Amino acid sequence: MRSGVLGALVLLFAAGLTASPMMTAPAHAAYGPCNTTVKRTDGLNNSGNHFTVPARTGNGLSCYMQYQTGSDNAVTALQRAIVYCYPGTYAANRIINTGGADGSYGDGTVDAVRWLQANRLGVSADGVYGPATRGQMRWPLYTPGGIYIACLDTGF
């Protein structure tokens, strides 16, 4: 009898852990999807040069994008960063060959991000853009008029 009750309690406890939303929700879900972009200055001589980076209203740069999430402008900023800063790679070619920087986080962007994560960034290769991926990426620097200058390691 005692072992039966103990066994039942163990099963209930285990079921509670696996059914808990805290245990099943992916870590990036806490940030929310990227719904905008922000301009970060390069900090050099008040030149007005800037980086355009996906962001979330109220969370700054802490956001994520995955298949079919993210605003058009946030996804476009990511896609442009991949094309400009990783030219000639599978990731850049995958973006170019599946519509270019079109603002859609579809199969091509998922594949491109996954390849970049595994082959250039050294982060978990899940195809999801989030803080770890952002922090390891190179980002394009633009003039105040929006003309591409170069790609830099920013660390943000």
Whether the per-residue pLDDT at 5 is higher than 70: the answer is no
- The pTM assigned to this predicted structure is 0.81
So what's the pLDDT on residue 21? Answer: 40
Residue with tokens 């719904």: 35
So what's the pLDDT on residue 27? Answer: 58
Residues 87-139: pLDDT tens digits?
999 999 999 999 999 999 999 999 999 999 999 999 999 999 999 999 999 99
Residues 39-95: pLDDT tens digits?
998 777 778 899 999 999 988 999 999 999 999 999 999 999 999 999 999 999 999
Whether the per-residue pLDDT at 18 is higher than 80: the answer is no
Cβ atoms of residues 139 and 145 within 8 Å: no
Q: Report which secondary-structure segment, H or E, holds 108.
A: helix 107-116
Whether the per-residue pLDDT at 9 is higher than 70: the answer is no
Strand segments (E) across the chain: 36-41, 50-55, 138-142, 148-153
**What does the block give as tokens for 156?**
């943000």
What is the rounded average pLDDT of the residues 16-26? 44
Weakest-pLDDT range from 7-11, 33-37, 60-64, 88-92: 7-11
So what's the pLDDT on residue 28? Answer: 62
Q: At what angle do helices 72-85 and 90-97 cross, to 10 degrees?
A: 130
